[in-house]
Structure 1
Amino acid sequence: MNKVDVLIIGAGASGLMCAANAAYRGRSVTLIDHANMAGKKIIMSGGGRCNFTNMDASPKHFLSQNPHFVISALKRYGPSHFVELMDRHGLEYVEKAPGQLFCQKSAKDLLSILLTECEWSGVNISLNTKVVKVTDLGECKEVETNQGTFICESLVIATGGLSIPSKGATGFGYQIAEQFGLEVLPTRAGLVPVTLQPDLKAKFEPLAGVSCDVSVTANKTNFTEPMLFTHRGLSGPAILQISNHWLPGDELKIDLYPAESIYSLLVEAREKNPKSQIDKVLSQLLPKRLASMLIEDHKWQGVLAEYGNQAFEEIAETLHNWVIKPNGTEGYRTAEVTLGGVDTNYVSSKTFEAKEVKGLFFIGEVLDVTGWLGGYNFQWAWASGYCAAQYV
């Protein structure tokens, strides 16, 4: 029988953060995970360089049925706090896009810092440890595992969501929540590529690898970012962002050239050189393979002088309001996050303790909190882990 003050289940971003900070408070902390190593998703994120925070992180960048829930934690532990920790350890990082900080070399450097913090603070980490049963003993919790039984005053669930099951993701955290009477809101894959109907998929397959800046809209929400054609459908930052707002059956409205008015550009081009071929003009606005497909589809041929203003308006309308109806998404296999999760109305936004279950805490992605693409979800992991650590 192992007696500890704090037992944390899940050695991911939020679990590691919570463990180190709780141990620094003098609490005896054990961190367990069923995987064979800690921080698997940290290492693979951001193409192996981990977009570990966003300096612009604010409540508006998070989705939750209870949008006020994130305010307290983000105020108490913001991006500058985590950057300060990284600076103390000498992590080299770069700002690849405004506000988005990535490890300069490897995400392994960041994971090493978190593990060092756990070592310095005295955290005991037990990997390959599978939970068999959790029992509420009133003043404490009993957690039976394949590595023995733990008795703890505070039990922290930091098991994440369902995204990327190949890295060990399971619905364990939701099961614990339901066991103790907390509601779990419906879950679905978030920040995920979309797939296309077979006919569209076959049509766009030759465009795999083509990327262009677009403005994409679904359900009154809009993002202007790059979009990428893939062998299965559409991806890239614009699609990943909008996937959090897209629902099955919805269309995506895509502006293929959001920078300027295509109508105005065509009129101007006709005035300057009426003998220019329209297909050459359009090919300068869009990636060549994409332009060629659209030109062939719509039979946009001939010189500009042959086209009147109404024809230009129709071309502009087609390119500024390109409508696609996805077949679905690639699902949890490639999703970066899980939408939905433990209903935050059952959890204190200050302590992260379940309101009706003393000593039971939920942090990170297992909660119904989902950030935008761009480092926001990691910032939520750090903030929720740190804030819970002050009360476990």
Structure 2
Amino acid sequence: METSSALQHRAADHMTRSMHYDAIILGAGGAGLMCAAIAGQAGARVLVLDHAPKAGKKILISGGGRCNFTNTGTEAGNFLSENPHFAKSALSRYTQWDFLGMVQAHGIAWHEKTLGQLFCDDSARRIVAMLLDECAKGGADIRLSTQIGEVRHADATYHVAGDTADALVIATGGPSIPKMGATGVAYDLARQFGLPLVTPRPALVPFTLGDSDAAFREISGVAVPSVARVGSTAFEEASLFTHRGLSGPAVLQVSSYWSPGQAVTIDLLRDAAAKLRDARSRMPRSGLKAALIEHLPKRLADVLADRIALPTELGNASDATLDDVAAQLQHLTFHPTGTEGYAKAEVTAGGIDTAALSSKTMEARSVPGLYAIGEAVDVTGWLGGYNFQWAWSSGWAAGVAIAGRLQA
């Protein structure tokens, strides 16, 4: 069997002559590699093209370099989409347990962190190597550092970068993290083939705050357990104050549900009223700052005491006054000026409209042989391994469908 290294370079032998494939996959990320592995092992002749010099670049940087490759709690409710039911088919047919089985079969050590998040013990490179090895088993060609250029479709054949195929898979992701080479080419291709788009936007992204919240920008680096809310959506994890605004897992989660103009509220102190009453009984001559320092980082307590400004000692504060302070601590309200955009967004929400795709095969309903998978599609997961699981599941679904074309 070819090594993954040989696999990446074998396609160079074909650069001077046109080859015909069963499928050309655009994008050597998680979804594209999974699709190539599944289709190739089922007998399809597959070519993967990517402009990047390495396969799986987003995999390599994910999870602090250890790749949060799935989540044990994955289900359709962990994803945003104009059609919340679309992801159900692929997720139920290729589950987190299926991918974990592949990880274990390759001898990759892993561990579970909070909230069902699974990480490699060693390095994210192990996940990329595993996917390349799976592609090698199916004889897939992987051609890196290759510009896609013009894509044509004529006589039921797709023409890309000098080669042809019966099927084309859009697995180029979204424009988040452009420094990694991410682009919006998936949307250009969708428009070319008449597929509608749900307006793309940065997701899992930090917020920026204006001058009215400058005091919070000055405590950059302070993190605190919290519940962050946007509208009726809430997540309980850490919030982080940054030199530009708000971040941390809870904030990133709600950012996917945020629209410009909406408020973001953060609950910084569970059972705040009871804690303040307890502080009043124990240290009646102290101010609010002393009570807050018992439960919150000092720099944050300083800012909150100034913002809320309890103008009396705790012992002189009535129950109603303490209840009002508690309500402010549990509904600390911010009006973000925006987000840090695609440069800091972990993923892109929106994308190719699922109404144009089959949920079973990921094939475009109006363009035979055209598939879209992964982040290119309007399916966006929560933080915590969900987006990788969508890449594996949607890539698997398309790979199976492409292989099925051979028997049709």
TM bucket (normalised to shorter chain) is over 0.9
After TM superposition, the structure 1 stretch with the greater mean CA deviation from structure 2, 76-85 or 303-312, is 303-312
- What is the percentage of aligned positions where both structures have the same residue? 46
Matched letter for residue 276 of structure 2: L
The count of aligned residue pairs is: 385
Distance 1:352 1:388 in 2: 6
1:34 matched to 2:59: no
Distance 2:227 2:355 in 1: 34
Matched letter for residue 207 of structure 1: I
- Give the match for residue 68 of structure 1: 85
Matched letter for residue 148 of structure 2: V
Distance 2:93 2:225 in 1: 36
Q: Alpha-carbon deviation of 1:272?
A: 4.2
Pair 1:329–1:278, CA change in 2 (3 A): closer
1:328 matched to 2:338: yes
Conserved? CA contact 2:287–2:310, under 8 Å: no
1:265 matched to 2:310: no
Distance 1:188 1:168 in 2: 17
Q: Alpha-carbon deviation of 1:104?
A: 1.2
- Give the match for residue 197 of structure 2: 184
Partner of 2:113, secondary structure, is strand
After TM superposition, the structure 1 stretch with the greater mean CA deviation from structure 2, 268-277 or 18-27, is 268-277
1:250 matched to 2:262: yes
Per-residue CA deviation, residues 173-205 of structure 1 (Å, 9 max, x unaligned), is 1111111111011110000000011342x3223
Matched letter for residue 51 of structure 1: N
Distance 1:304 1:186 in 2: 51
| Aligned-pair Cα RMSD in Å | 1.3
Partner of 1:131, secondary structure, is coil
Q: Alpha-carbon deviation of 1:277?
A: 4.7
- Give the match for residue 96 of structure 1: 113
Q: Alpha-carbon deviation of 1:172?
A: 0.9
Matched letter for residue 279 of structure 1: K
Q: Alpha-carbon deviation of 1:344?
A: 0.6
- Give the match for residue 304 of structure 1: 314
- Give the match for residue 298 of structure 2: 288
Per-residue CA deviation, residues 209-263 of structure 1 (Å, 9 max, x unaligned), is 1000111111211111100011111100011000011111111111111x3x211
Q: Alpha-carbon deviation of 1:274?
A: 3.4
Partner of 1:37, secondary structure, is coil
TM-score (norm 2): 0.92
For structure 1, the residue ranges without an aligned partner over 5 or more in a row are none
TM-score (norm 1): 0.95
Per-residue CA deviation, residues 244-292 of structure 1 (Å, 9 max, x unaligned), is 11111111111111x3x21122223333453455422221121111001
For structure 2, the residue ranges without an aligned partner over 5 or more in a row are 1-17, 403-408
Matched letter for residue 138 of structure 2: S
Q: Alpha-carbon deviation of 1:51?
A: 0.7
Conserved? CA contact 1:263–1:312, under 8 Å: yes
2:184 to 154, 171, 189: 171
1:152 matched to 2:169: no
Show the 5 A alignment for 1:1-392: 1-143=18-160, 145=161, 149-200=162-213, 202-257=214-269, 259=270, 261-300=271-310, 303-392=313-402
